[in-house]
Amino acid sequence: MAIHPQAGQLASHDILVNLPELMSAYYLKKPRVTTHPDERVSFGTSGHRGSALLSSFNEDHILAIAQAIAEYRLSQNVSGPLYLGKDTHALSEAAFQTTVSVLIANGVRVRTQLNGGYTPTPVISHAVLTHNKAEADVSDGIVITPSHNPPEDGGIKYNSSKGGPADKDITDWVAKRANALLEANLEGVKRLSPDEVDASGLIEPFDFINHYVNDLENVIDMKAIADKKIRIGVDPMGGSGIHYWEPIAKKYGLDITVVNEEVDPTFRFVPRDKDGRIRMDCSSPYSMQGLLKLKDDFDIAVGNDPDYDRHGIVCAGFGLMNPNAYLAVAIEYLSQHRKQWPQDIQFGKTLVSSGMIDRVVAGLGRKLCEVPVGFKWYVEGLYEGTMAFGGEESAGASFLRKDASVWSTDKDGFIMALLAAEILAVTGKDPQSHYDAQVAKYGNPYYKRIDVAATSAQKALLGALDTKDVTQTELAGEAITSVLTNAPGNGAAIGGLKVSTENGWFAARPSGTENVYKIYLESFISEAHLAELESEAKALVDSVLGS
């Protein structure tokens, strides 16, 4: 994909989302679920997402999904409060109110942010887990967010009683029930008016901010950061964590400067991404241009996406770290500085994350657990304390508390951001310097991800591949050492394939939201070898799909 000529620049007014049109579409457009598959409820790796303008995220969707979740939790005897959060996308507020009206009508107690504020994804996970550890009843959560997606998008995801994204069995049940409700013109959906909701007594205001902030010292060495007076710059990117940084700084005595305090659902202050669209992706050097211009004003600067499940780490004198690089550094640091973590505990990565992580974990003599794409695959391990760390190449991760008990089972952009400051405070070197040392020791990886156009039929074929479908024995001049259609860490289907050699690999998997398949590539030899990998990977996938 060619880089848009205005990537990294602020958008002109004419391309900003038309908010009145968007909000009208949320209420007026009706999904045609029997004739248009793209307008049905579909839970991907992070819930149901879409745009009201495209009839893929409208009030009817949320009415049906909320009713399905209410019925599911009843069937599982989940009788505690449901912790409900929302981010700063325009559609999130509308979907939040719709969700409340249905949950309350079903007799669900709902805990929402005191004074009606925003609540990040990891904060909901943390609240569910701390509740279920201390209380007799069982709670769960919902977050209204499309994560880093463009301003016109909306999203909703269900977090189970284990705090993290619900597993596929749960989301399949919810999606099936929601689509049945849509097909029945919402017959069976319970709903209350705003006045009835207010009079119900089932809304329970909750101080998410202090509940989360006061617990941070149990997962991050806040004292070390304060003692070394690490200067931290924060760009909330207009997201749901914007009101958390001041309480964090005040409680722990940290030197934190919030460089942008704007919240605007057009996200007009976020520079355009590589394709020219506004996308609040804190792992993109284009979207992060505002913070990158200030990189030398701070020791560590951090950005987060709207629901705060992603992190972008900026080191003075260098710039934005590659997400894979930071995961490798975080794993190495945590394995050496969390003395209460068991030696046999696992460190998790997705199949499409860098092979540098494999080499670092092996060099530490630790155990690696490689899983398919999707943070839901880490929930059980983090919850049970058998997995110390789970990370994704898309700049999302979480890890255990200092005492090896669970902190969150969803991606946590706060603790990954604060960990970068801890690494600098404790070691005297920033994360990029640590990564440079890893490269010197383990080799320099060249990593790339591309999108290739594909029909729905081709995507279905790719998702159903078997290892025997790959018959060649060499890839980019090296012998193929493994062909995977299931993850070695848990045996789950990856929905595609991964082919590896001694010094390179590629993985191909269909997109859940676009008519493309994604190819991830990495070479530990050279850029030229990476290009060779790309060419042969495309040819291999094409031959398999063609046959």
Catalytic residues: 147
Which two three-digit tokens encode residue 61? 């969707």
Q: Hey, how many other C-beta atoms are within 10 angstroms of the C-beta on 54?
A: 16
Per-residue b or e along 268-285, where b marks 16 or more CB atoms closer than 10 Å to that residue's CB: bbbbbbbebbbbbbbbbb
Exposed/middle/buried for residue 161 (C-beta within 10 Å: 0-12, 13-18, 19+)? buried
Per-residue b or e along 438-468, where b marks 16 or more CB atoms closer than 10 Å to that residue's CB: beeebeebbbeebeeebeeebbebbbebeee
DSSP state of 367: E
Q: Hey, how many other C-beta atoms are within 10 angstroms of the C-beta on 197?
A: 20
CB 1 within 8 A of CB 275: yes
Per-residue b or e along 348-369, where b marks 16 or more CB atoms closer than 10 Å to that residue's CB: bbbbbbbbbbbbbbeeeebbbb
230: Cβ contacts below 8 Å, ≥ 6 apart = 254, 255, 299, 300, 421, 424, 425
